[in-house]
């Protein structure tokens, strides 16, 4: 078996790691950095650039610079999350024939899976350069609150990039593994994960090498991007007050403001004030306008106080689900770049009545945990005996009148198998439709549809007499199987739920081929250029 890599595919930055002996190590990218911006750019020359190079060309080419794509992957175009994203992004979105979201790049339309595959492909290249050999296998992390469609879309992106996904693991769980590896003490750990695009809270119990996830919760549309946007909006308002001009319609000026806002937000984690200086932000016929504004940490905190507070009710709910008080948590670890913000650190400290543990790197721990998971799967790590994860969302079936009957509750430890009896609603009903759903909403129509199948051949009987046992089974990989059995006849129908990312198997195969052709062409062009220079 060749090298196995752990990948944290982030909204704003991605990170790569592997297991070296019994310790996880970060793999630097081709530029020597430990993290890579999750940004793809398409140049006027027809080239595709990734990471820092893409970030540098964003100012002159905002419509063809793609970022925050993780917020779009596995989602429908008409969803609330995509609607909010579309209002902020400089590039255009469109609706696919199946209702999914597409990204417009010039005259082309591409899927979020393809964009993510480009980032993953670059990380794969970095790993191959590091090891000096081909890399095929990976453990990839996703937000704990990602649904099946988003998880499958991430898997498809990895397949397109030429990777075999050994396991998809929740990001806070991975960070917990990175924290707990080699720790001798036992206890309960809270992982507060606030990255560029998502928030997760997970509670874990570590006991003699067993990592047991007790509960998880989150918001898949809350992250550093939202904090950046508040600063952007403030800067635009300030400019309008000073110069009576709205910069929001000027794409190039807006991109400069975005970059300045993110930079200022980062600086305010370490200083009480910083100056934003944007010379020649606007060129008018009679003059050029420069923009200079000082922003303080106090202003940033006032602009984002509601965003800072937003995770706290989710943490409270998660603790209540497992009947724990904040004081019962032994260690709190902070993951994700946005947790560097002092106000967030203060609020978390106040909530749990203790200072966060600083032993994990907020940008690297998730990838390190993914590398640890790879060692657990291969049997290379003896320090960790077992990882017991949970389902992040409930699973159940639709009942009459848009009812929703949960069979497996959220935060149930996996693997798990549960059976519940149902019956018919009509006299002499000969078949039943089993509609498998995922979610926590009370009505069937408010949850996500995963699969449908029919059980036929039920003996004629009055309504309510037949007993049909519906069994849900989830294995350690999160694979769901659902069976329905008529107890009178013994007839049974089973389905392995295959969540769709919106791409068919044929489409994925076509994209795999396209990606390989582009990689081969790039390698051939590079070899030709090298030969020409020699």
Residue 453 burial (10 A CB sphere; 0-12, 13-18, 19+)? middle
Query: What are phi and psi for residue 526, nearest 5 degrees?
Result: -65, -40
Catalytic residues: 8, 70, 171, 193
451 contact partners, CB below 8 Å, separation of at least 6: 435, 436, 482, 495, 497, 498
3-state secondary structure of 365: helix
Rounded to a whole number, what is the largest CA-CA distance in the chain?
87
For 13-33, the DSSP string reads EEEEEEEETTEEEEPP-TTS-
Give the pairing type, strands 288-296 and 273-283.
Answer: antiparallel
Structure tokens at 356: 């966060």
3-state secondary structure of 425: coil
Q: CA 189, CA 333: separation in Å to the nearest integer?
A: 7
CA of residue 92 relative to chain centroid, distance: 21
Ramachandran class of 140: left when φ > 0, alpha when ψ lies in -120 to 50, beta otherwise: beta
Q: Which residue has the tokens 């800067």?
A: 235
Q: CA 495, CA 481: separation in Å to the nearest integer?
A: 6
- Between CA 327 and CA 331, with CA 328 as vertex, the angle to 5 degrees is 90
Q: CA 430, CA 100: separation in Å to the nearest integer?
A: 36
Q: How many CB atoms lie within 10 A of CB 377?
A: 16
CA distance readout (Å), 127 to 49, 102, 154:
18, 29, 19
Q: CA 7, CA 16: separation in Å to the nearest integer?
A: 5
Structure tokens at 100: 């999914």
Query: What are phi and psi for residue 288, nearest 5 degrees?
Result: -105, 140
Contact 98, 500 (CB under 8 A): no
208 contact partners, CB below 8 Å, separation of at least 6: 186, 385
Q: CA 191, CA 52: separation in Å to the nearest integer?
A: 29
The number of helices, as runs of H, and strands, as runs of E, in the chain is: 12, 27
Structure tokens at 137: 């296998």
> Where are the alpha helices (H) located in 132-190, listed in sequence order?
148-160, 171-180
Separation of first and last alpha carbons in the chain: 37
Q: CA 195, CA 175: separation in Å to the nearest integer?
A: 12
Q: CA 329, CA 187: separation in Å to the nearest integer?
A: 8
């Amino acid at each position: 078996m060749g090298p196995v890599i752990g990948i944290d595919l982030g909204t704003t930055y991605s990170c790569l790691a592997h297991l070296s002996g019994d310790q996880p190590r970060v793999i630097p990218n081709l530029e020597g950095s430990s993290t890579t911006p999750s940004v793809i750019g398409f140049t006027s020359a027809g080239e595709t650039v990734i990471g820092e190079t893409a970030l540098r060309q964003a100012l002159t080419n905002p419509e063809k610079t793609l970022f925050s794509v993780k917020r779009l992957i596995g989602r429908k175009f008409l969803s609330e999350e995509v609607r909010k994203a579309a209002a902020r992004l400089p590039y255009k979105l469109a609706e696919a024939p199946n209702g999914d979201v597409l990204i417009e790049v010039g005259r082309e339309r591409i899927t979020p899976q393809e964009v993510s595959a480009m980032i993953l492909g670059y990380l794969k290249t970095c790993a191959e350069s590091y090891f000096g050999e081909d890399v095929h296998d990976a453990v990839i992390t996703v937000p704990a609150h990602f649904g099946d469609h988003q998880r499958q879309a991430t898997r498809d992106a990895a397949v397109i990039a030429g990777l075999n996904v050994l396991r998809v693991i929740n990001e806070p769980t991975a960070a917990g593994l990175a924290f707990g590896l080699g720790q001798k003490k036992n206890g309960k750990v809270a992982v507060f994960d606030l990255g560029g695009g998502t928030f997760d809270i997970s509670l874990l119990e570590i006991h003699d090498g067993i990592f047991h996830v007790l509960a998880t919760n989150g918001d898949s549309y809350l992250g550093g991007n939202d904090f950046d946007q508040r600063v952007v909006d403030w800067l635009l308002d300030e400019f309008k007050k000073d110069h009576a001009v709205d910069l929001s319609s000027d794409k190039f000026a807006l991109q400069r403001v975005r970059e300045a806002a993110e930079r200022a937000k980062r600086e305010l984690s370490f200083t009480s004030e910083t100056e934003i200086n944007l010379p020649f932000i606007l060129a008018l016929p009679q003059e050029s306008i420069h923009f200079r504004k000082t922003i303080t940490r106090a202003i940033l905190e006032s602009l984002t106080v509601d965003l800072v507070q937003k995770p706290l009710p989710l943490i409270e709910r998660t603790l209540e689900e497992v009947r724990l008080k904040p004081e019962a948590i032994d260690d709190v670890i902070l993951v994700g770049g946005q947790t560097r913000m002092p106000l967030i650190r203060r609020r978390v400290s106040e909530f749990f009545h203790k200072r966060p543990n600083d032993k994990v790197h907020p940008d690297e721990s998730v990838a390190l945990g993914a590398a640890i998971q790879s060692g657990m799967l291969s049997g290379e790590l003896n320090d960790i005996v077992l990882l017991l994860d949970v389902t992040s969302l409930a699973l159940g079936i639709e009942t009459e009148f848009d009812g929703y009957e949960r069979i497996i509750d959220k935060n149930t430890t996996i693997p798990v198998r549960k059976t519940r009896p149902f019956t018919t609603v009509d006299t002499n009903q000969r078949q039943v439709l089993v509609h498998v759903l995922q979610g926590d909403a009370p009505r069937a129509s408010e949850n996500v549809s995963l699969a449908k199948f029919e059980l036929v051949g039920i003996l004629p009987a009055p309504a309510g007499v037949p007993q049909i046992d519906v069994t849900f089974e989830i294995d350690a990989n999160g694979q769901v199987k659902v069976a329905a059995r008529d107890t009178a006849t013994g007839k049974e129908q089973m389905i392995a739920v295959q969540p769709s990312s919106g791409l068919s198997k044929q489409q994925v195969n076509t994209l795999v081929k396209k990606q390989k052709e582009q990689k081969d062409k790039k390698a051939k062009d590079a070899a030709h250029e090298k030969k020409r220079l020699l």
